Every structure is written in C-alpha cells, then in structure tokens.
Structure 1
Amino acid sequence: MRQHFEALQKTGANHVPLSPLSFLRRAESLHAARTAVIYGDIRRSWAETCDRIRAVAAGFMGLGVAPGDTVSVLSPNIPELFELHFALPLTGAVLNTLNTRLEPETIAYILDHADTRLVVVDRELVPLLSQAFDRLGRTLPVVEIADPNAPGETLGGPTYDSLLANEPLPVVLPDDEWNAIALNYTSGTSGRPKGVVYHHRGAYLMALGTGTAWQMPPYPIYLSVVPMFHCNGWGHPWLMAMLGGTMVFTRVPAADRILAAIRTHGVTHFGAAPIVLQMLAEAESNATPFDPAIRVLTAGAPPPPSVLEKTRAMGFDVMQVYGLTETYGHISQCLWQEDWDDLTPAEQSELQAQQGIAFPMVEEVTVIDRASGAPVPRDGTTQGEIAIRGNTVMAGYYKDAEATAAAFADGWFWSGDGAVVHENAYIQIRDRLKDVIISGGENISSVEVEAVLYRHDAVQAAAVVAMPHEKWGEVPCAFVELRDGVQATSDELIAFCRTNLAGFKAPKSVIFETLPKTSTGKIQKFQLRNRAKSLE
C-alpha cells in the first residue's frame, strides 16, 4: 500500500550527499600506490597526492578560510591547481579558477564580484594579479605557488608548500550536496561576465556521466590540456580520482610538449579545443600514427571537418562534445554510429562535427521553437534554440536573480544557441543567437570589443562579428564608421584594442564603411556577418 512506501525515511544509512570528495576517499584507499601526477621530474602516488590535499586544506583553514568563502586561483594547469579542486571543497570553500588570459580589468571585476576571500597565484602570474589589484583599488590575502619549472615574482605572501606542514584533515562530505563547490565566470558574451555556481551534486554526476559517455576504462593516463579555468577542466580532475587515473601536466600547452608527453608517458586520453587539434596536426604532419589511438574530446566552435580528417590520420579518436559554462561543460556528444563506417573520411568528418545527443547524466537536451514552445521536427532544417534540463545545470548566476530567472524560463536552461535536429536525433548548431565569437576555444563578447572601439576618438559607430579563420575557427572582425573629418587606420584601432583587451579579443580585421542600420538606428549585424564570411 502507498502509505507503507511513504513511511520510509531518508537516513544516514541510505542517503549520502553526492560530492566528488567521495572520489578522493576512494582514490586514497583503492588507488594509493598508483601514480596520480606526472609533471616534469615529479611523480606522486595517489596516497601522496591525497595526503597533500588534506594538509593543504588544513592550511587554508588556518589562514581563516571558512565554509562558503570564495578562493580565487590564478594558475596554469599544474599539480597544485589539480589538488585545489579537492582541497578547497574539503574546507567548504568555493573554488574560483580565473582565466589566465584575461586582462587585469576583468580579473579585478571578478575578484570583486565573487567576494574573493583569498587568492592563490602562480608566481609567474604575479604581475597580472598586481595589475588587477591596482584596478581593484585594494589588495587581497595571497598564497603563492613557487613552481620550480617557471620563473616568477613574489608579493611576499605565504607559499603553497608552506601549507603542507599542517596536520591533514579527514575527508568529510558536505552536509548538503547543493552546497557550492565552484564559481566559474562566463566570458561575458553580453557585457560583464556572470558568475556560474556549481554544486557538489552536479560535479559528482558530471564525473560519472563523462566516464560513462567516453567509455573510459580504469586507470587512464590523462593529459591535462583543457584549462582548468574552463568549467574546472570539464570536470576531468574529479573524474581522474574516481578512475584512479594519472594526470600528466606540461604547464604550457605547446604542440611539442603535448606530443612529447603523449609518447613519453603513454597518454590514453585528453580534451582540447579544435585550435589545439589543428596545432597538433600541423606539427605532426609526417609522423607515424599513434597506435593504439588516443581518445580525444573536443569542444568550443565545431571543429572544421578538415581538422578531424587530419587528426584521425594521426591516430586520434576524436569525439565532438557540446556544452556551456552554465552546464559544467559538455552535456552532449557526437557518438560514432556504425553506419558511418563505410562513408568517406570527408563525410565522416562532417557528421563528427555535429553536437549529437545528451550525455547520460543529463535529463534532456532538445531544440525548441521559442515562439510555439514545441520541439522542432527532426528534419535537419527547422531551427530552434537548444534547451537543457538536468542535474549538471548550474544552481544559478551569483548575485543575479534576474538573469537566473531568465535563463531558467519555463523550466529549461536556454543556451542561446540556434540549432536543428536530424532524423537520428542528433543536434547540430546552425547559428549562435547571441553575438558571441568563439576563437580557439575562447568566447569573446562582441559587445565588450565594441565598447572599447567606441572609446577611440575617431570612432563614430562600431559593430563586431565573427569572421572565419583557418587556424582559430573564427576571430573578431570590426566594421567601423569614422567621425567626419577624422582619420584612423586598421592597425591603429587594432593596437588600441590590444592595449585595452586581452590579445585574443582584439579584432584581426577592421573594415571602414557606413554601417547598415534599421529605421530605428539599430545596426543590422546579420548583413555584417554575411560580409565577414566572404573575407576569410
């Protein structure tokens, strides 16, 4: 009878909060002797790594870090950043990984908006943090990573290594799986970046779902290429603890270092943006293919079919995935279908560039006609907006209830990406509904670039759109109207942008002309996008 079922209760025996900290405890007991980290001459077992993590967590608590505090980290992919993905959640604090490619002004904005309690900084990036503090108008407590593999400066704060002297904390799960584990900022595709809150439950399920979708065996050897400031490395640091994997670090994602690491350490898996795959293909054009094949996830702008062809010839088994900062990273995959086996390499690569179907931990990824509220037909031509539901959708935007409510309208998370659905239920993006440019895996806000251009004395009006680029996928192209009687060159405006923006955000081309506008004065960007496509 129904009442007998309803009488059953959650207890400590049958209900435990989901958290990737469980994977740390598993790694310490099950994978203790296995290699967890390879970095230059450094080799550490899971037992050593877990001991370090627990000691560092105790060190942060000794510095006054408390549950709910935000700790920001400015660091390349190195073992310390990997350890912080467990150490900070162990204290109850929230990990905020900062994009090392951002300009000081944006870093200062994030530090302020995130209510950062303390900053962990790699000493090579101290100058960047110092400039951000100058923009912020104040300093914050700092812990410095003194990496022997890189030069650096010091602000005089305690070092990361000094925290290792503390008595290690026990691994204790959070009281509530809804507690924040990470705060990741979007690339500011419509102005200022928004803070995206991840919870322990979502991080746990992201790791489980990725391992299943990628069909990963135990003990993979994973090369850390995806920046951990991108959706916490797509959740892969937590996944490696679950599987007893080995994390291999090169610090700098240069082609020669990546290829050398693959060969030296027997790398089996890695993730990378399409620009990195193209870089590897160009560097490895005449080499013997990897055998067995290296399993690779790629995400960002859809990879050009030509790059997929080249990487397949190299011995890379590449799978396209799709996701957003708001979804913890990838939530759909272009899973290979057997009936593709007999197609030509070019045809296969075209299909591989699709965004595919939902990961197993995601309840639903669909394409909806916003006007009718109905899913679009599976005809490969009718366009709608990608909408997502599931446990790996963010808790919400930090300190922005209005934006959160808009993103979650009608019980879906709305991606802003326009797409079609094919007969086999695979999704394919056709156009971005927001004016976002994805260049080498980095999102660039056209609004942000336009704002800088408008600050130049010679600029009357400006519009920035994506222009196809052989290497980067797409890059910013600026269309500019000059003020009457004033002159400026393309090089001058590009240089101006570079002094006020991160280099990758600056336009790569500037076209001077009268901008097309509606009767109300709104710039007709769709015309400029079509123009930019012809400028490749």
Structure 2
Amino acid sequence: MIVPFSVNDFLARALAVYAERTGVIDEPNQPAASLGDLSYARLGELARAQAAKLDQLGLGVGDRVAYVSHNSARLLAAFWGVCGSGRVLVPVNFRLSVDEVRYIIEHSGSSVVYIDPELKDALSDLKADHVFVLGEDDDDLYDYDREPRPWEPDENATATINYTSGTTARPKGVQITHRNIWTNAVTFALHAGVTDRDVYLHTLPMFHANGWGMPFAMTGMGVPHVVLRKVDGAEILRRVEKHGVTVMCAAPAVVAAVLDAAPDWEGEIPGRDTVRIIVAGAPPPTKTVARVEAELGWEFIQIYGLTETSPLLTVNRRRQEWDDLEPEERAHKLVRAGTPAIGVTVKIDDEGEVLARSNVVLEGYWDQPEESAVALRDGWFHTGDGGVIDDEGYLVISDRKKDVIITGGENVSSIEVEDVIFSHPDVAEVAVIGVPDEKWGETIKALVVKAEGSELTEQELIDYCKSKVARYKAPSSVEFRDVLARTATGKLQKFKLRAPFWEGRERQVN
C-alpha cells in the first residue's frame, strides 16, 4: 500500500491525539492582535478556515500565497491552511528590502499576500490580487462559515517556495514538496529525540527553510510551540523559564546573544540539563560550543543543510563515546557538520564540492529550469560548499565554492552586494568577501577601488547600501584599495583577497 505523504499528516495526528492540549503560545507582543494560547483543536480550526477563505477568493490547487511576516501563530497555521489545501505557501524574509519583496511576489506569481502590521506602510504598493494585513484583516484571512474543498494529497506537489540568495543577483525560489517536508520532519524529529514532553521555542524565523521543518515535526508529536517574534538573549532565557522550553533551533548569532545575556541572569540558568539547542548556518567556534555546555548547561547539536534540502543533511550530536572527553575536546568534535541523517547520502566530488542525494532535496527552482538542471545534474544535488569527510566519517565544511556569505545564519550573495556597491558613481571596482566574526560567524567586507578624485568614505558607502538592500546585506566594513587581484582574463581572484583575513584557520568558513 502506498499512501501519499502530506503536510496534513502532522496536524491530523495532533488533532487525533492532542486536540485539547495547548499547541501554540502566540507572541504576546504582536503589533496587531496576539492570538494568545491556542489548543491544537483551535489550530486545526484556523487552518480549515483559511483554506475555506482561499476557496472563496478563487484560489485553486497550486496557486501561490505569500506571507511577509515575523513569527506568529497566524503564519504557523498557514503551513496547513495554505499547503494543506493544495496551495503553495511562499514565506518571505521580512528583513528584505521593498524591491526584493516585490520581486519575490511577482516572480512567484503570488495572488494573495499577507503582510505583517509593521511592514504595511513600506509594502503598501505591492501588486497582487489581494493584499491583507495580518491581525487587522482577519475577516480576509479566515472563513468559519463553510468547510474547505477537499484536496487529494499529492506528495510530489510543491508545498512551499522558499527564496534563497545564491550566486546570482536575484534570489531563487526553492520548490519544496510535501514528500520533502514529510521526510525532513520525521528524520529531524528522530535525530533530535523529540517527544510529547518537549516544548519548542521558535527562535528561528518560520520563513527560513520553513523553520527547518520544526513546525511540522513538533506538531506531529504534540509539542507546544512558543512563538518568539524578535530575538533577544535575555528574552529567550525568560521564555525558557516561563514555559519550560526544552528545544530550539538557532543560528550562531542567537547562541551568542544568549551567552551574552547569561551573566546578567539572576539565579540558575533555566533549562540546565534539559534544553537542546540545534545550531546551523555556520559552524561556531569551538569555545562557543564549550561555553553552551559549561555556562548554560544546554546540549549543543550541530546540523548542516540548505534551504534546497529542506534542510537537514547531516547531524552532529554528542555521543556516548564522548562522555569522558574533556569539554574542549568534545566541543572540537561537535563543530563538525556531522554524519548523514537517515536517508541521506553525502559525498565529495573531485573538485572538493559536497554533493547529496536524499528525499529531502528540492524539486527544482521555480521558473528557472536551467538553474535547476545545474544544481541537480548527474543525479546529485550540488551544494556549492566545499568540504571533506574525516577519518571518523564526519563531514567538515572547509570552504564555500559558490559565492555566498553566511552572516548571522542568513545567506547573502556577494554578487548581489557587489552589484549594489558598483551602482555608486564613486566606485570603480569592488569585491565583496566574507570575513570571520566572533558573533555573526562571518561579516560582509567590501574591498573597493574608488573612482579617480572621489572622496567617498566608508560610512557613506555603507549607508548607501542600506538604502538599496536589506540592512543585513550591507557591508559592515569597507576597505579602499588601489587595485584588486585579478586573473589574466580579468576575473577577480577572491581566494587571494580572502586569504589574509582567514590566515591561520583550518576552514574558510566560520
């Protein structure tokens, strides 16, 4: 017997087993109206009511619905209200510039767009059939008076399109199927040891690779979701204490924020010996891992993956064999990307690139068949990351073959930033590179040759970039040079430009 996988399987189990349990604790400080504490039964009602409203608006199977939103219970419900009724959810990074959001809405063909209240003025001129403000236009979000049209699940149908920065100036829309989501959620939950005794804190943006699949995994196991709208180290500690949080996912910058807040916490750090913090985006320094275990008493779990892989490819969790190791030695083992998750095959090609095969690998890039063919050639997904597999069988990411900088867990295309900087009339040449940073993993540095006679300053150029793209994409530092290293054919030699900043480090990522 073959029963098609569907995102609905996760909510269906929660409704069958945990209907009266508190399933969601919405962020209390939502700018419009918090939904408060929701039972799983209520979450199911929201999903059905949204599906019915999309019916009323005339959306059919496969039509796209975009959310430009911070974390919220309304966005969480959309994973079933939209995807679970056969439509395609397009979760958009709310940190992007207006032009970037506009491009994603238009490129995805989203006919319905829901906007966070904080963004309604900035995004007031979006072009779509229907544009609504979350929390202010809930009558346009839910229809409780009718049952939604039934959808016959198709596990190979696109469930979400997640836009990610790549090697081109424009983001690519990653098509994630129901089968991708199902496989990722189940294997992730298994490796993370999720049970119905857990409490999950959404420190990770839900738009980011669908919250790494945790909305589905946690729901299927009846785990309460604690929604966090904005990351703050002290507030994370407060939520852990108040709600008994036991698991969260985070970029290294979030880990750093919690460690920075811990010395000012009065009393014992909450969650000691009970919290598991799952980290990805860039491997943090060994001493950060050691500090998590020593100062917080939390278990550190490292994973590696990409939006294109739903995202879990490898996992590195403390093993019984490491229990007697010194903390620094154990931490050194934990900073590796890890071993392949169940159902994942990883190999290194002759050029040192990490390749992967799995049911979590994307269907393709939306409306970009040539990009899809390149990424999925020869039956393998080409990650663009360089790496090695060590003697213990652990993947270690050593370099980045594609031109992407990961800062604070966000992917930034260096080409995109270069394009913006080069548009400044005082810039003659530019190369953008990632340089190591203790807090953010990497920060963006622009190496610039000024036009003759220019008096352009570092701060002026940084401010110019912030006016053109999302602030996190702007360089944090600018270094003016007389010349940039190039090949005989005129191509920038970024490995030479990066080398001085990474000297003495084993890996060219941080």
Give the equivalent residue in structure 1 for 2:69: 75
Q: Does residue 309 of the first structure (1) align with residue 290 of the second (2)? A: yes
Could you tell me which of 327, 336, 356 is aligned with 1:388? 356
Structure 2 CA distance for aligned equivalents of residues 354 and 291 of structure 1: 24
Task: Provide the secondary structure at the position in 2 that maps to 1:471.
Answer: coil
Instruction: Give the superposition deviation at 1:342.
Output: 2.6
Q: What corresponds to 1:209 in structure 2?
A: 187
- Aligned residue for 1:322? 304
Q: Distance in 2 between matches of 1:119 and 1:335?
A: 39
Give the counterpart of 2:446 among 457, 468, 478: 478
| Corresponding residue to 2:427 among 449, 452, 459 | 459
Counterpart CA distance in 2 for 1:232 and 1:518 is 40
TM-score, normalisation: structure 1: 0.88
Residue 162 of structure 1: CA displacement?
A: 5.7
Q: CA deviation at 1:139?
A: 4.6
Percent identical residues: 37
Q: Equivalent residues in 2 for 1:224-239 (5 A)?
A: 224-239=202-217
Q: Who is 2:277 aligned against?
A: 296
Distance 1:90 1:495 in 2: 42
Q: Which residue in the other structure is 2:102 paired with? A: 108
Instruction: Give the aligned partner of residue 313 of structure 2.
Output: 331
Q: Deviations over 1:317-351 (max 9, x none)?
A: 11010000110112210132333223222222221
How many Å apart are 1:230 and its aligned residue?
0.6
Q: Distance in 2 between the 1:323 and 1:162 partners?
A: 33
Aligned pair partner of 2:131 in 142, 149, 159: 142
Counterpart CA distance in 2 for 1:435 and 1:188 is 7
Q: Which structure would you say has the larger Rg?
A: 1
Paired with 1:321 and 1:286, the residues of 2 have a C-alpha distance of: 29
Deviation at 1:482, TM superposition (A): 1.3
Q: State the 1:204 CA deviation.
A: 1.1
The aligned counterpart of 2:347 is 366
Conserved? CA contact 2:234–2:262, under 8 Å: no
User: Counterpart in 2 of 1:31?
Assistant: 18
Deviations 1:112-160 (A, max 9, x none): 11011110112122123226x2xxxx454112212xxxxxxx7xxx435
Residue 510 (structure 1) shift:
1.0
**In 2 relative to 1, CA 213–390 (structure 1 residues): closer, same or farther, beyond 3 Å?**
same
Name the residue aligned to 2:262.
Answer: 284
Counterpart for residue 346 of structure 1:
328
CA distance in 2, matches of 1:124, 1:402: 37
1:256 shift after superposition? 2.4
Q: Does 1:19 align with 2:1?
A: no
1:184-223 correspondence runs (5 A): 184-223=162-201
- Matched length: 493
2:492 alignment partner in structure 1: 523
Corresponding residue of 1:7: none
* Among 499, 502, 510, the residue aligned to 2:478: 510
The answer to whether 1:118 aligns with 2:87 is no
- Counterpart residue number, 2:367: 399
Question: Which blocks of at least 5 consecutive residues in structure 1 are unaligned?
Answer: 1-13, 147-153, 371-383
The gaps in structure 2 that reach 5 residues or longer are 29-33, 505-509
**Paired residues of 1:465 and 1:529 also in contact (CA < 8 A):** yes
Letter in 2 for 1:111: I
Tell me how far apart the structure 2 counterparts of residues 439 and 411 of structure 1 sit (CA, whole Å): 30
SS in 2 for 1:223: strand
The 3-state SS of whatever aligns with 1:32 is coil
Tell me the amino acid that sits aligned with residue 497 of structure 2. L
2:507 aligned residue: none
What TM-score results when the alignment is normalised by the length of structure 2?
0.93
Which range is displaced more, 334-343 or 42-51?
334-343
Deviations 1:488-521 (A, max 9, x none): 1111111111111111111111111111112222
Q: Which amino acid aligns with 2:350?
A: D
| Pairwise CA RMSD | 1.9
Name the CA distance, whole Å, in 1 between partners of 2:197 and 2:146.
Answer: 29
1:390 shift after superposition:
1.0
| Match of residue 388 from structure 2 | 420
CA contact (8 A) 1:515 1:523 kept: yes
What is the one-letter code of the residue matched to 1:16? V
Shift of 1:286: 5.7
Q: Which residue of 1 aligns with 2:31?
A: none
Question: In the alignment, residue 74 of structure 1 is paired with which amino acid?
Answer: V
Instruction: Tell me which residue corresponds to 1:169.
Output: 148
Partners in 1 of 2:7 and 2:418 — Cα distance?
Answer: 41
Letter in 2 for 1:293: T
**Alignment check: 8 A CA contact 2:250 2:278 kept:** yes
